[in-house]
Structure formats: C-alpha cells, structure tokens
C-alpha cells in the first residue's frame, strides 16, 4: 500500500496495490499494521455504503460531533466521485481549508478522514457506490454538517447549484461561518 499526505495534515490518500492477472485483480484495501505505520490509529467499528442513482448527487458536508466524532476510510466501489474534506479543528493551521480528490472504482484509491473534518462528495457517474469504514458508531444526536455550497468555503463543485441532487436535510445544513466547532487541533509529532 502506498500512503500519501494531502495539504490537510492527517487527511491521507491510501492506494492499495493491485495484483492482476487474466481474471482481473485482487487488492488488500485494509491492513491494520500498514495503517498503523502510516499513523492511522483508528479502530473501525462500522462499515457504511451509499448508492447514488444519478451523477451530480451531493452527499455532505457531514461530520459527527464528540463524543461520537468519527474517522472515515472512504472508498468508491462503483463509479467516481469528487470527494471533499474540510478542516474544522479550532487552532489548526489549516482551519477552514479544504482539499478535494477524485476517487474512483477504477483507480482504487481511498481517503482517510480523521475526526475533526467535514466530509462530502459529488457523484461524477450514475450508479455510483461508496463504502466507508468509521471508528465510532452512528449517533443521530451527534450528526451535523455544513451546507455543500457554502460561500465562505467556496468549493468548486463539479455540478451547478440548480442541477445538484441533494436530500432535504443536506439543503438545510448551516454555514461554516455559523459553525461553533466542537473540535480542537492537537499537533502530533511523528517519529
């Protein structure tokens, strides 16, 4: 596995090696010791999967607040997404900044999102399926988010606002400026 950093400290791109032959391929998509060596200490407790029928579907920007804050390991198993992560950690040198990555079933890359970040994606192909591991159980009272097209964040989503497909809940999410972030930045020096 190849693990790469992003411009947001703690957010990592994980690229599993694929072993191919005339039948297709096999890949290890999660190996605890490799993740631990890369600094990913999450102990995943739940796997989630989403299916989006149409391209231009937006899911996010979501996060869970403490005490149920979640780390996520995101992977596309069919189709392609524009995946976005926003730093919500007060005191972080990248607070309020975001990074984006195209994830596809074809390339097999995964995105590790630590607690303290909002996460969302836009589907780029119809019939897209996304799976993600989380290290804390879903707690409805702790679910939160930021509206996808927040003016302060100014994320260049690959879909026009009038063409985006969203849930009513995601349309009603608050703004980044109104967020009272429950997350604090803690610098961790790696050996």
Residue 31 forms part of a structural domain: no
Residue 104 forms part of a structural domain: yes
132 is catalytic: yes
* Total domains present in the chain: 1
Residue 59 forms part of a structural domain: yes
Domain span at residue 99 reads 43-171
Integer CA distances (angstroms), 18 to 76, 93, 168, in order: 15, 35, 39
Q: What pLDDT sits at residue 189?
A: 55
Residue 34 forms part of a structural domain: no
Residue 182 forms part of a structural domain: no
Q: What pLDDT sits at residue 191?
A: 40
Residue 24 forms part of a structural domain: no
- CATH number of the domain at 158, please: 2.60.120.10
Residue 25 forms part of a structural domain: no
Q: Choosing from 82, 112, 119, 132, which is the catalytic residue? A: 132
| Mean pLDDT to the nearest integer, 48-75 | 98
Residue 36 forms part of a structural domain: no
| Mean pLDDT to the nearest integer, 46-70 | 98
Q: pTM above the 0.85 mark?
A: yes
Q: Choosing from 30, 62, 137, 190, which is the catalytic residue? A: 62
């Amino acid at each position: 596995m190849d693990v790469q950093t992003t411009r947001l400290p703690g957010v990592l791109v994980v690229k599993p090696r694929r072993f191919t032959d005339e039948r297709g391929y096999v890949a290890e998509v999660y190996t605890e010791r490799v993740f631990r060596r890369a600094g990913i200490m999450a102990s995943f407790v739940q796997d989630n999967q989403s299916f989006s029928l149409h391209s231009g579907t937006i899911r996010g920007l979501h996060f869970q607040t403490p005490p149920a804050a979640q780390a996520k390991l995101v992977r596309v198993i069919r189709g392609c997404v524009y995946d976005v992560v926003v730093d919500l950690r007060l005191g972080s040198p990248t607070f309020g900044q975001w990074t984006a990555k195209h994830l596809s079933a074809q390339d097999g890359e995964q995105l590790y999102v630590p607690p303290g970040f909002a996460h969302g994606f836009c589907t780029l192909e119809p019939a897209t399926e996304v799976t993600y591991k989380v290290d804390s159980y879903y707690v409805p009272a702790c679910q939160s988010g930021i509206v996808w097209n927040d003016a302060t964040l100014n994320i260049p989503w690959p879909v026009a606002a009038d063409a985006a497909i969203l849930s009513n809940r995601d349309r009603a999410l608050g703004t980044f400026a109104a967020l009272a972030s429950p997350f604090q930045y803690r610098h961790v020096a790696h050996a």
